[in-house]
Amino acid sequence: MDPTQALIDAAPIPTEKQLKRQHNMFYQFFRFMILNIKMYLLAKKGH
């Protein structure tokens, strides 16, 4: 068996709850805004 395939087979499978969260546009927007705030604060601290 190919070692790459063994790693793929051992990868965790997302639960139904995780899949719903990944496809929820409001949740994704919220995560996007958090990431933007973190990047803004990081850039502000550097100047």
Other Cβ atoms less than 10 A from the Cβ of 22: the count is: 10
Give the count of alpha carbons within 13 A of 23, CB side only: 7
Can you give the length of the chain in residues? 47
CA distances from 42 to 10, 26, 28, 33, 38 (A): 36, 24, 21, 14, 6
* Res. 47 pLDDT band, cuts 50 70 90: low
The pLDDT of 16-32, averaged and rounded, is 94
Answer whether 27's CB lies under 8 Å from 21's CB.
yes
Give the mean pLDDT of the chain: 92
Position 3 scores a pLDDT of: 87
